[in-house]
Amino acid sequence: MVPNRGVLAITCVLAACGMSDPPEGPDPEIEVVNEPSGSITATINALQAGWLVTTSRLVDHAPPGESTITSDGSPITLVGTSTDVFVATVTTPDGNLIATLAMKAPCTMAASRQLQVPGDYPTIQAAVDAAGPGDTVKVAAGTYTESVQMRPGVCLLGSGARRTILDARGEGRTLVDLTKAPGGVVAGFTMRGVAPKPGCASTDPFDCSGNWYTAGVYLGTEGVTGWDNPTINAPPIIANNIFESNYIGVMLYFHGIAVVRNNIFVGNQHGFVANHYQDRTLLANNVFADNTKLAIGNQAAYLDIIDNIIVGSPLGVRFQYIQTGHIACNIFFGNDLNSNEPRFTIGSDGNIESDPHFSDNYHLSSSSPARNAGCHRGEVLEPDGTPPDIGAFGGPLAAWADL
């Protein structure tokens, strides 16, 4: 399988950064190779000897791993997984900034194949079944009523979340199942209409094992080996989706490691639930609005809750057992209770109680306190070159596909 290759955006280059006398030669750039295995390499090219190159590989749940080297003119290669975000700054020895380089969002790099629905295949499932690692299944705008079982390394990409809809029609079934799909991506959909299925006597999302429940996206790896080793099985990315009017928006169960970021959860009973789950996962740059029972539920996960906006729910964050994770730079507003346990404090670690001042479709107005306030504002820029915002349209994956 041929790796996916893509050149990343240069967000600040030469004279645009205020450098008055730029050196001759091509501008530095980062080229990414996205391997079928889920690993990723980022190579910084067009360097000149003597330049200082500071590189960061952001994993979000830990401080950025940063190092600075003096270039000898050779390319510099960074290695990580598909969930990492690479950032590099290049300066002259006397401190003049040459370039700031940052990674693009998932599914934007050229895939080995692109399978069109319904152009090439009549159903989403037929296209997914025909796809291999590194392929993209591109779904045309419209409403679809399928339940899709994903395969490893496949990117499932809608044509804009507000125009590409997966609808369960009030039935008790999951819309997208990532259980057997390490390294996959699900992006660009509205998922709605998922009802609970019969079987678990309680509607509490922690009373039964995860496989009793239905969700917009479900990932439960019981009986599937290797998921507890992310260096072998890269976590899927769930990004740029809208989850509305579901019993549960996203559920992770057992070793269902994933990256859940830049989504909108609105009007669900339960937005995000980690059920019987004891691994580390990332929940970042999402909006949770008016979920009728619970925005975020964490039973036993080391759940990193970073740069989210959580508003209008009876319970913002629910903890069941002692496992927590990092909780930082979130905005809470209008919830009956922000947390059922004192795992974090409003007013510390960037967590605040404040009206986020939404404009349309959960974008931020100019007066929003979420602007330029993300946790990594000292290490990463958004695609427009500004510090990262909190919420669904902020952070290094801020550029939504036609919402």
Question: Which residue, 170, 176, 175, is CA-closest to 193?
Answer: 170
Q: Find where tokens 């915002």 sit.
A: 389
Cα-Cα-Cα-Cα dihedral sign, residues 223, 225, 228, 233: negative
Cα–Cα dist 85/385, whole Å: 15
Domain boundaries, the chain: 4-102, 114-353
Residue 146: CA count within 13 A, CB half-sphere: 19
| Residue 297 three-state SS | strand
- Residue ranges of alpha helices (H) inside 20-123 are none
Number of H helices, E strands in the chain: 1, 35
Question: Which residue, 302, 261, 313, is CA-closest to 279?
Answer: 302
DSSP 61: S
Do the domains 114-353 and 4-102 match in fold? no
Q: What angle do CA 216, 222, 226 make, to 5 degrees?
A: 105
Residue 304: CA count within 13 A, CB half-sphere: 20
Predicted confidence at residue 62, as pLDDT, reads 47
Question: Which residue, 65, 69, 109, 112, is CA-closest to 84?
Answer: 65
Predicted confidence at residue 37, as pLDDT, reads 58
* Amino acid type, 336: D
Sheet of strand 76-81, all strands in order from the earlier edge strand to the far edge: 4-7, 29-34, 39-45, 76-81
Predicted confidence at residue 144, as pLDDT, reads 98
The pair of three-digit structure tokens given for residue 329, joined into one six-digit string:
């730079």
The pair of three-digit structure tokens given for residue 324, joined into one six-digit string:
């927590």
| Residue 392 three-state SS | coil
Contact 241, 186 (CB under 8 A): yes
Give residue-wise pLDDT tens across range 303-340: 889 999 999 999 999 999 988 888 999 999 999 999 99
The superfamily (CATH) of domain 4-102 is Immunoglobulins (2.60.40.10)
Q: Which parts of the chain have pLDDT scores under 70?
A: 1-25, 32-39, 56-66, 81-87, 100-112, 201, 222-234, 378-381, 383, 399-403
Looking at domain 114-353, which CATH architecture does it have? 3 Solenoid (2.160)
Contact 32, 40 (CB under 8 A): yes
* Amino acid type, 171: E
Predicted confidence at residue 127, as pLDDT, reads 98
- Report the first-to-last Cα separation within the chain, whole angstroms: 32
DSSP 309: E
